[in-house]
Structure 1
Amino acid sequence: MRALFPGSFDPITSGHQDVLRRAALLFDEVVVCVMFNPNKTGRFPVAERLDRLRAAAADLGNVTVDSHTGGLLVDYCRRAGIDVVVRGVRGVADLDYEMPMARMNRELAGVETFFIAADPALAHISSTLVTAMSRQDRVPER
């Protein structure tokens, strides 16, 4: 069975990598796909995100990397013959956000959503936090 692991991956985090590795153990093939979200401003160019995803998945023989910039996630799933979407959830807030989309994907195209609970050691990590930490200016020495 083929699964899609979609996201902005802006940037990819250790939490994303954990979900990807666990999904690769569960499905015959996993397509990790950089999706365009018009509600988010990208921090990194899509090409750079794809390169980082390829590097993260280099040792996973059943993972391919792709991007999708137009249309709904279910449009991509239909075109690629994918029936399952994989989503990592860190807690109740993520689940509250993901559930309506999961229901809609099932209603629109029969695409099921498979939730993978975040590793507790990584659940505090988000792309926003990683970016903020990487841009943190150092306090000059006095």
Structure 2
Amino acid sequence: MAGTLTLAGCNSAKEGVKEAASGMGDAAKTAATATGQAALAPAVNPVLDLLKKGQGEVAAGNVVAAAATIGGFKGLWEKAGPVIQPLAGDKWPAIETAANTLISTFAGGTPDAAGATAAISGLIGPLSALVGK
């Protein structure tokens, strides 16, 4: 009987350790996510600011001004992209595709308002989600 009690106590202790370890794993994942988002913010926020400025210009009917604003995107993206890529994980392919779409949409000069809106929004969405905005 004493052996059974000891064994039951041991199993109970093992389960407690497993639960604690699982909780620590969740806490570590949460901390890693928060750290990743904090590391991403300095790279993503200037890109989002530029995109939102361009989006506002398109919404105001000034696609020419939006094209001028988005003209600065490629240089900014060349610096921000390499910082974002390793932290974006499986979201990177969609972000990279949206960035390339934006660049090609504005590469020929001033696009139509619908194309400009779609290209800008197509990148704002995944970048905002990446930094929790």
Structure having the higher helix fraction is: 2
| TM-score, normalised via structure 1 length | 0.28
Structure having the higher strand fraction is: 1
